[in-house]
Amino acid sequence: MDYSTKYLGFTLQNPIVVASSGLTQNADKIKACEDAGAGAVVMKSLFEEQIRQQDLGLQESAMMHTEAMEYLQADLEMLYGSRDYLQVIEKAKKSVKIPVIASINCYTSKWWLDYAEQIAAAGADALELNVYIFPFTTEKSGAELEDNYIEILKSVKDKVKLPVTFKISPYFTSFGHFATRLAANGANGLVLFNRFIQPEIDTKKMKSQVKGMFNDPVGFYNTLRWIGLLSGKLKLDLAASGNIKEANDVVKQLLAGAAVVQLASVLYTEGLEKIKKILTGLETWMKEKNFNSIQEFKGKLNQINDTQSMAFIRSQYIKTIAGVD
């Protein structure tokens, strides 16, 4: 049985990728993911905010005017604060054979470039750009925000030779058009979709707080929809992410056209051994359907290969909704 799949130019032994999370925050944990059967890992994201908060002891080593010291500290923290992250890459690459994909999350375009260059030099196999520019301003249009994403992608691709994939949210006016722009500007892959911590209000304590979205079936099917719509149309690899818990979930995303699936939440709740359980379930399904390899059914039910046209899907929608009072 052949479970291999192509992703970002690499041949993975199987389509299970451990997503960016605490499960991949150091070399030992990355090795544990490989031992558990993962086809690849995405390292825990390096956040610009985390780097800015690091104290490198500059105040103890330099006596200067306060404003000048603060200016120097801001830049030096950004340049060298990622050193530990780079050391994790170097150590992991010495201990595992599976691809190690670095992940960076920034909001300042200048530092995307510096991070990308440092990560490439440290030996990462690919780079996942976790990009989310929150549209909190009333002064920028949707088109202008999209242009910011494109500029980040183009700038990074000009600087490094690594395969680059974009992990993004579905919150775009015309997501298909935006995904096409990303592909046209050099993205090697898309991870669909990122999930965000949501705002919450505690009415008893009269306090605002945040809550995670770890059980989101709507997110799963939104991913399934867009994987199916984009698979075969864009010259890049698609990774499915969000509420994927069982082998049957993996099968669905592969049938829609995903090259890989990213797992995190289910591995937190059930442990890394869940990877082998999912692979066993995938094997069972493939045997039942007489498939010898993933390539035989990958994308079999995407919009290009599925016999159900968009008109048919629309008619089923009408029939379903029309009967609801």
The confidence score (pLDDT) of residue 215 equals 62
The confidence score (pLDDT) of residue 2 equals 96
Amino acid in position 143: A
pLDDT tens for residues 236-258?
999 999 999 999 999 999 999 99
Residue 234 has pLDDT above 80, yes or no: yes
Separation CA 83–CA 311 (nearest Å): 53
Beta carbons of 40 and 34 less than 8 angstroms apart: no
Q: Kindly indicate the confidence band of residue 47, based on its pLDDT and cuts at 50, 70 and 90.
A: confident
Provide the CATH number for the domain around residue 282. Answer: 3.20.20.70
Q: Which of 146, 151, 196, 191 is nearest to 172 (CA)?
A: 146
CA angle 163–1–260, rounded 5-degree value: 30
Separation CA 261–CA 67 (nearest Å): 48
Q: What is the residue range of 13's domain?
A: 5-322
The confidence score (pLDDT) of residue 7 equals 98
Beta carbons of 156 and 129 less than 8 angstroms apart: yes
The confidence score (pLDDT) of residue 107 equals 66
Q: Which of 40, 118, 45 is nearest to 78 (CA)?
A: 118
How many percent of the chain have pLDDT more than 90? 59
pLDDT tens for residues 273-298?
999 999 999 999 999 999 999 999 99
The whole-number average pLDDT for the span 97-117 is 82
> What end-to-end distance do the CA atoms of the chain give, in Å?
49
| DSSP string for residues in 234-255 | SSSEEEEESS--SHHHHHHHHH
Residue 129 is given by DSSP the state E
The count of structural domains within the chain is 1
Amino acid in position 166: F
The confidence score (pLDDT) of residue 244 equals 96
The confidence score (pLDDT) of residue 142 equals 83
- Is the model more confident about 197 or about 156? 156
Q: Which of 123, 122, 128 is nearest to 102 (CA)?
A: 128
pLDDT tens for residues 51-93?
555 544 444 444 444 444 454 445 544 444 578 899 999 999 9
The confidence score (pLDDT) of residue 63 equals 42
The confidence score (pLDDT) of residue 61 equals 43
- Is the model more confident about 182 or about 309? 182
Amino acid in position 234: L
Residue 258 is given by DSSP the state -
pTM for the predicted model, two decimal places: 0.86
Mean pLDDT of the chain: 85
Separation CA 138–CA 97 (nearest Å): 47
Q: Which of 43, 28, 192 is nearest to 103 (CA)?
A: 43
pLDDT tens for residues 118-154?
899 999 999 999 887 776 677 788 888 899 899 989 9
Beta carbons of 275 and 244 less than 8 angstroms apart: no
Q: Which of 250, 241, 246 is nearest to 216 (CA)?
A: 241
Separation CA 179–CA 230 (nearest Å): 8
Residue 41 has pLDDT above 80, yes or no: yes
Separation CA 283–CA 294 (nearest Å): 10
Q: Kindly indicate the confidence band of residue 17, based on its pLDDT and cuts at 50, 70 and 90.
A: very high
Separation CA 103–CA 89 (nearest Å): 11
| Cis peptide, bond prior to residue 214, ω within 30 of zero | no
pLDDT tens for residues 197-212?
667 788 888 888 766 6
Place of tokens 């995670």: 212
Burial (CB count within 10 angstroms: exposed 0-12, middle 13-18, buried 19+), residue 273: exposed
The confidence score (pLDDT) of residue 196 equals 67
**How many residues are given for the chain?**
325
Q: 304 forms bridges with which residues in the sheet?
A: none
